[in-house]
């Protein structure tokens, strides 16, 4: 099996064109549809672009084949209006095939949008008439919003401003295949024994992604950045369980202090993905935010696999490699841009023993800016 494709990959492939969504391939749609079929526990899932069926998984319908034109009047109406459709009777789907043997009786159809333009649909089906389950409806709407959010993000021109670049690179790291798809697979597994928790995790994931691009300033209150990190940690701990023990140490006096937006989360993500996830057995992560005289100090410490000495210095070079290199270099560059020599990041690591990253910047409160 090749590398998994994420909704971010889809979004970055989109090129906005009137009436056409070029980025969503059949293979990508099929993978997403399989995930949705497992999460939603419905009878069938379909994904379309603005004109054709891209994927169909679940209860068989001989006319719902990838590559075929959009079949039902109900789907065409959603593509035209951009509004969610709730179908409770088969006849309301308005299938054009007389005597169609398909057993689908009910559906929820949610639009996918790019900059307000409807470019596709996500559809969940049931083989019994009547209202779709509430959780299935919320899931369809949530996934459509999630994909639409990624599509909007793809339209940002990274090179125009460093902050936009920071958001995109941080989101690239966060929604790597091992994060997004493993989180969705965790939702699938959880849904079998705790559906309420599974829905909470999915809601948490959507909120996490939305938060990533919702803040428009260069700096953010420490309390807000820490809450964002806690959101990320809840999603990762749902997957790793007791394998990773997290300790968060935050001085109450720093909650209103300012730090660069998305300065802490990429460092925490690095520690988990590159330090603790590859480690055999249990691991520990410590995140500390405190005041040290005139400075705000942020530390991220793990006892993971460590970083080879030859690579440590290269991590501070812009565009060095991928993953951890992007996170460290980006934080380093933004600290220098905002604070000059007063903003700095230091890294110490020993292979097999773990990694220590500390960030220092001037302590400043919002009312002082």
| Contact indicator for 72, 102 with CB cutoff of 8 Å | no
Looking at residue 284, its pLDDT comes to: 96
Residue 216, pLDDT above cutoff 80: no
Is the separation of the CB atoms in 242 and 282 below 8 Å? yes
pLDDT band at residue 301 under the 50/70/90 scheme = very high
Q: Which of 25-29, 213-217, 284-288 has the highest mean pLDDT?
A: 284-288
Average pLDDT (167-171) is 52
Domain ranges in the chain are: 7-154, 162-368
186 pLDDT higher than 80: no
b/e code 12-39 from CB counts within 10 Å (16+ = b): bbbebeeeebebbbeebbbbbbebbbbb
pLDDT for res 7: 42
- Which has more confidence, 149 or 120? 120
What's residue 5's pLDDT?
Answer: 38
* Whole-number average pLDDT of the chain: 79
How does 327-346 read in b/e, with b if 16+ C-beta sit within 10 Å? bbbbbbbbbeebeeeebebe
CB atoms within 10 A of CB 90: 17
DSSP 162-206: HHHHHHHHHHHHHT-HHHHHHHHHHHHHHHTT-HHHHHHHHHHHH
- pLDDT (0 to 100) of residue 147: 73
Q: What is the pTM of this model?
A: 0.54
Residue 273 CA to residue 164 CA, distance in Å, equals: 23
Query: Is residue 148 scored above 80 in pLDDT?
Result: no
How many other β-carbons are positioned within 10 Å of the β-carbon of residue 223?
A: 15
pLDDT at 142: 82
Tokens 């559809």: give the residue: 123
Confidence at residue 169, expressed as pLDDT on a 0 to 100 scale = 54
State pLDDT tens for residues 230-278: 888 888 888 788 899 999 999 988 999 999 888 898 899 889 988 998 9
Q: Tell me: domain 162-368, CATH 3.90.1150.110, correct?
A: no
Question: Does 119 score more than 70 pLDDT?
Answer: yes
Question: How far, in Å, CA of 11 to CA of 115, rounded?
Answer: 12
Give CA–CA dist 147/180, Å, rounded: 12
Average confidence (pLDDT) over 35-44:
84
pLDDT tops 90 at residue 181: no
Q: Do domains 7-154 and 162-368 have the same CATH topology?
A: no
CA distance 70 to 79: 10
**Rounded distance, CA 23 to CA 256, Å?**
41
252 contact partners, CB below 8 Å, separation of at least 6: none
CA atoms within 13 A on the CB side of 315: 23
pLDDT tens by residue, 9-24: 434 433 332 333 445 6
User: Which 3 state secondary structure label does DSSP give 98?
Assistant: coil
- Across the range 165-174, mean pLDDT stands at 52
For the segment 214-226, the average pLDDT, to the nearest whole number, is 80
CATH superfamily to which 7-154 belongs: GAF domain (3.30.450.40)
């Amino acid at each position: 099996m090749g590398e998994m494709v994420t909704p971010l990959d889809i979004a970055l492939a989109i090129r906005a064109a009137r009436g056409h969504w070029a980025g969503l391939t059949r293979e990508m749609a099929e993978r997403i549809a399989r995930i949705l079929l497992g999460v939603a526990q419905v009878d069938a899932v379909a994904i379309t672009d603005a004109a054709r069926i891209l994927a169909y998984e679940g209860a068989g319908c001989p006319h719902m084949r990838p590559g075929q034109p959009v079949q039902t009047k109900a789907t065409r109406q959603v593509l035209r209006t951009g509004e969610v459709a709730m179908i409770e009777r088969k006849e309301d789907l308005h299938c054009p095939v007389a005597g169609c043997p398909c057993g689908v009786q009910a559906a929820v159809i949610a639009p996918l949008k790019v900059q307000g333009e409807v470019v596709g649909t996500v559809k969940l089906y049931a083989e019994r008439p009547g209202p779709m389950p509430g959780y299935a409806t919320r899931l369809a709407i949530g996934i459509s919003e999630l994909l639409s959010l990624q599509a909007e993000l793809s339209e940002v021109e990274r090179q125009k401003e460093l902050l936009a670049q920071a958001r995109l690179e941080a989101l690239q790291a966060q929604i790597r295949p091992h994060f997004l798809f493993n989180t969705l697979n965790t939702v699938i597994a959880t849904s079998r024994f705790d559906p309420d928790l599974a829905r909470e995790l999915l809601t948490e994931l959507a909120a996490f992604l939305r938060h990533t691009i919702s803040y428009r300033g260069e700096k953010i209150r420490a309390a807000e950045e820490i809450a964002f990190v806690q959101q990320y940690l809840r999603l990762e701990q749902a997957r790793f369980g007791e394998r990773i023990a997290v300790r968060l140490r935050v001085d109450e006096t720093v909650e209103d202090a300012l730090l660069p937006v998305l300065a802490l989360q990429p460092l925490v993500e690095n520690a988990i993905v590159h330090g603790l996830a590859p480690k055999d057995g249990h691991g520990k992560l410590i995140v500390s935010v405190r005041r040290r005289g005139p400075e705000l100090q942020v530390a991220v410490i793990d006892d993971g696999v460590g970083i080879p000495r030859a690579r440590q210095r290269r991590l501070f070079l812009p565009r060095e490699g991928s993953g951890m290199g992007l996170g460290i270099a980006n934080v380093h560059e933004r600290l220098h841009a905002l604070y000059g020599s007063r903003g700095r990041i230091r890294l110490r690591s020993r292979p097999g023993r773990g990694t220590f990253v500390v960030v220092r910047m001037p302590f400043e409160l919002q009312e002082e800016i």
